[in-house]
Structure 1
Amino acid sequence: MHYPFDFAVLFFAGIFSFVWVVGATLNQNRKLDSTTIFLITISGYRLCFEAAYFSGLINKFPIAFGIAVPCLYAIGPAIYLYLFNFYTVGNHRYRIYIHFIPFVFSLLPVIFWLKLNSSAQLQLIANLFTLEPLLRDRIDWGFMSWVIGPKLLILFYSNLSAFLIFKELRSFSKRINDELKIYLYLLLAFLHIMILADIIGYILSSLELIRISAMSHSISVVAIYLFGKYQPNAILEYEISIQKSRYEKSKLNQLDVDKIIQNMEIFMKDEHFYADEDLRIADLAESCGISIHQLSEILNRNLKMSFTDYVNMHRIAAAKDMIIHEPDRTILSIAIAVGYNSKSAFNRSFKKIVNLTPSEYKKQTSSN
């Protein structure tokens, strides 16, 4: 079986996904979160796997077919994990791992697959696309169920994610523009068509439906990238809208917010969390025993500032103290000591908060 055009499109989209991930990882200004990177990577993995099949390469290495299947079982839970980062309540992030149980069980058939010789593996693969449903035996049906399992999980978690999104639409639909709403609806509809075509294609042994699904996957990857490229703030707007909606249904009612703020100050001032240039909101939230969402709400609602502003406030306060009490220390040395990786970034933050550059502040304090 050899489809040169299908191979070219699928291979291009697969490599495109990997390049996208590398570029986004190296982009210091707009880094993608780890879940999104995983989704794009596994998407590229699936596209390259499909390209290998339609090119006929899978006939030379049929063992790769069975080894690749379990990896796809992680896509559905990863979709949910992306939204879970916004919807999690309390310190219950461990619950997300329950959703990866199907992935663990999907590894068991690999043992059976590895015991088969190449001829038997090729026969099972061929039966997926050529054998009429009524002619399949239990092994064929079991193999097909294992193969379409990831598609069913993606369908389930996509609907679960859509439920979470549309549940919130009443609360934040006025905050997002119509273009983003249309994009969300079309993306969900397109995903359903793509997955259903794939599932039905395997059940009915319709190679054409499977090809349509694979090509649709390629188109969707490029379309999502282009949307993010030309509407760079769209997804951020969506994420902010969700969080604003959740703020309206505050999850802080059962928390001692004053005590948490006190602990935050201890971590920042006494334990010098600010000195870590790689400090993330997740690190401080974990230390306080609350979720990222709850910490973000405390910062925005109670302290009226973002996490970045909060960290910079403590960094500059420490820097001012060093300038006064360690007059022989250089500005660059102080900048690094309080968590900045460059003098220019330190100068910008210092100027923004103090309304003076570090050098001007040093000169002013020394004259006094």
Structure 2
Amino acid sequence: MNPTFREFLTQFIFAGASLAFFLSLAFFFLKRKTISHYFLFTLLLVITGTLLFAWFNIREIYFRPLWVNYLFIPLNFFIGPSVYFFFFTAVKNGYSVDIKKLYTYVPGIVVLILLPIFSALGLLHEKVTAYFEQGEIGLADILLVSAFLYNHVFYFLIFKHGAIVFDFHSLQSATVARLFFSLFIVVGLINIYGIFAFALKNLTLMYVGAAFIALLVVMFFLFSYRYPEFFALLETLIDHRRTEKLQKKPKKKKSSLEGINLKELHLDLVELMNNEKLYMEEDLTLARVADELGIKPYQLSEFLNSHLGINFAQFVNRFRIEKAKQLLLQEENTSVLSVAFKVGFNSKANFNLLFSTYVGKTPTQFIKEKKAKKS
């Protein structure tokens, strides 16, 4: 490798690792964190570790005991689950993560525990780069490929959820759909590049791949400032497209709502929202509301979709916006952000977006307009 190019890669990878680390700290120490921030913190920390080990290798810095040099393998197993949970907790309103879902981190934890044993049994090459330099595929290389394939299961699930906005109409009319599609293209190309670099046994190309990941971190940093409302917009667009699709579907002959008094169910649902004010809970889920009503989640979902023409997130957000309108007028000294958190939103960007969608003006414009009418 050209010494100048090697030095450039070294500095760039280290810069990416440093940025990922400081970003992880920034999200961890946010005053008001949501569950998505914790998963973003985890993801950025894992990327930091992965890039640092690439930097150690290119600098030819090795550790004892031997297995420490292979810590990037379990870290790679953590990338897919972290991306998945960050995406869904950021995009899906009320998405909950229980202990069963966290089992997706188990493969990485198992590999982490087994590394010292593999090392003691002599199953790890003395040099991490042995596959690329000598062409000898070892256990560590098999585990790394396994981590790569494992992560792609989670990428596919994200793609499956968001693919509804990849139709021609959405891509043509919605900026957020184009951005989301572009993000998938970029990540996909980086992954394809990684496959070819590994297959060609080219260590230089692998280091360039690490530089691409570092570049992705920089892009994420710039992207998060340029489009702070991205996930809120994406959530709204996905919900809108799903509702449209459900309304176009022919009604099934057999309904899960047979035997249920729909008028009574509607009254109970509205009463539950008005009296118990469940909508003010940030992590409110469809299952929780269905349980309060004594029905199954799929029955409540069918009722909202088929009889009210909306999904659960839209139903809850209507109550949140109405309550926010009241609070903005009643509590004049309270900030817009405080009102947003009070009624159940987890970010100001999301609140502003949905308030504008339902009311036709921003919260600030709404307050000014009402004050002008009073005077």
Q: What SS is found at the alignment partner of 2:106?
A: helix
- Look up the match of 1:236: 232
Question: Which aligned pairs between 1:82-93 and structure 2 lie closer than 5 A?
Answer: 82=86, 84=88
> Hey, what does 2:50 align to over in structure 1?
46
Is the CA contact 2:36–2:89 (under 8 Å) kept in the aligned structure 1? Answer: no
Q: What TM-score, normalized to structure 2?
A: 0.63
Q: Distance in 2 between matches of 1:241 and 1:233?
A: 12
CA distance in 1, matches of 2:116, 2:45: 25
Q: What residue is the counterpart of 1:131 in the other structure?
A: 134
Alpha-carbon distance, 1:121 to partner: 4.4
Code of the residue aligned with 1:173 in structure 2: it is L
Partner of 1:288: 289
Paired residue total? 320
Q: C-alpha displacement at 1:213, in angstroms?
A: 0.7
Cα 1:260/1:288, change in 2 over 3 Å: farther
Q: Partner residue of 2:213? A: 217
Equivalent residue for 1:104, pick from 103, 106, 126: 106
Which amino acid is the alignment partner of residue 45 of structure 1?
G
Distance change in 2, residues 1:110/1:84 (3 Å): closer
Query: Cα deviation per residue 1:274-312 (whole Å; 9 max; x = unaligned)?
Result: 8x8xx30x2364531459x96983463x57x54542554
SS of equivalent to 1:205: coil
For structure 1, which runs of at least 5 residues remain unmatched after alignment?
321-330, 341-347, 361-368
Residue 191 to residue 316, structure 1, CA distance change in 2 (3 Å): closer
Question: Is contact 2:94-2:284 (8 Å) kept?
Answer: no
Aligned to 2:11: 8
Q: State the identity as a percent.
A: 13
Contact 2:9 2:208 in 1 (8 A): no
* Match runs of 1:1-368 below 5 Å: 4-24=7-27, 33-34=36-37, 35-60=39-64, 62-82=66-86, 84=88, 97=101, 101=104, 103-115=105-117, 116-117=119-120, 121=124, 123=126, 125-133=128-136, 136=137, 140=138, 142-170=139-167, 172-177=170-175, 181=178, 183-250=179-246, 254=256, 259=265, 262=268, 265-266=271-272, 269-270=275-276, 279-280=281-282, 282-283=283-284, 285=286, 287-289=288-290, 290=297, 297-298=311-312, 300=314, 305-306=317-318, 308-312=320-324
Q: What is the alpha-carbon distance in structure 1 between the residues aligned to residue 286 and residue 326 of structure 2?
A: 17
The alpha-carbon distance between structure 1 residues 309 and 156, as it changes in their structure 2 partners (threshold 3 A), is same
What residue is the counterpart of 1:343 in the other structure?
Answer: none
Confirm or deny: 8 A CA contact 1:264 1:288 kept in the other structure.
no
Given that 1:197 and 1:212 are in contact with CA atoms closer than 8 Å, whether structure 2 keeps it comes out as no
Provide structure 2 residue ranges, at least 5 long, that are not aligned to the other structure: 291-296, 305-309, 344-362
Q: Distance in 2 between matches of 1:261 and 1:210?
A: 60
Cα RMSD (Å): 5.0
Aligned AA for 1:152? Answer: L
8 Å Cα contact 1:62-1:118 kept in structure 2: no
Greater alpha carbon shift after TM alignment, 205-214 vs 260-269: 260-269
Encode CA deviations 1:224-283: one digit per residue, 9 max, x unaligned. 22123223334432232112112224599857696377356446635x768x8xx30x23
Q: Report the CA distance shift for 1:194/1:59 in structure 2 as closer, same or farther (over 3 A).
A: farther
Deviation at 1:127, TM superposition (A): 1.9
* 1:292-344, Cα deviation, whole Å (9 max, x unpaired): x96983463x57x5454255478799x89xxxxxxxxxx9xxx99x969xxxx
Aligned partners of 1:108 and 1:313: how far apart in 2?
A: 50
Q: Which amino acid aligns with 2:216?
A: S
